[in-house]
Structure 1
Amino acid sequence: MSEPVVVTAYFHPAEGQHERVVEGLRASIPAVHEEPGCLLYAIHDAPDGTIVMIEKWESAELLDRHGAGEPVVELNRRLAGLLAEPVAVTRLAPLAAGTPGQGAL
Structure 2
Amino acid sequence: MSEAVVVTAIFRPVAGARDEVVRALSSGIAEVHSETGCELYAIHDAPDGTIVMIEKWSSNADLDAHAAGEIVARMTAPLAGLLESPAEVTRLAPIPAGSSYQGQL
- TM class by shorter chain equals over 0.9
TM-score, L = length of structure 1: 0.96
CA distance in 2, matches of 1:34, 1:14: 30
Is 2:102 the counterpart of 1:102? yes
TM-score, L = length of structure 2: 0.96
| Structure 1 segment 1-16 matched on structure 2, within 5 A | 1-16=1-16
| Structure 1 segment 42-53 matched on structure 2, within 5 A | 42-53=42-53
CA distance in 1, matches of 2:96, 2:8: 17
Q: What fraction of aligned residue pairs are identical, expressed as a percent?
A: 60
Runs of 4+ in structure 1 deviating by more than 3 angstroms, as ranges, are none
CA distance in 1, matches of 2:50, 2:34: 26
Is 2:75 the counterpart of 1:62? no
CA distance in 2, matches of 1:42, 1:11: 13
| Alignment gaps of 5+ in structure 2 | none
| Structure 1 segment 19-58 matched on structure 2, within 5 A | 19-58=19-58
How far residue 28 of structure 1 moved from its aligned partner, in angstroms, is 1.5
| Alignment gaps of 5+ in structure 1 | none
Partner of 1:22: helix, strand, or coil? helix
* Count of residues paired in the alignment: 105
CA distance in 2, matches of 1:71, 1:78: 12
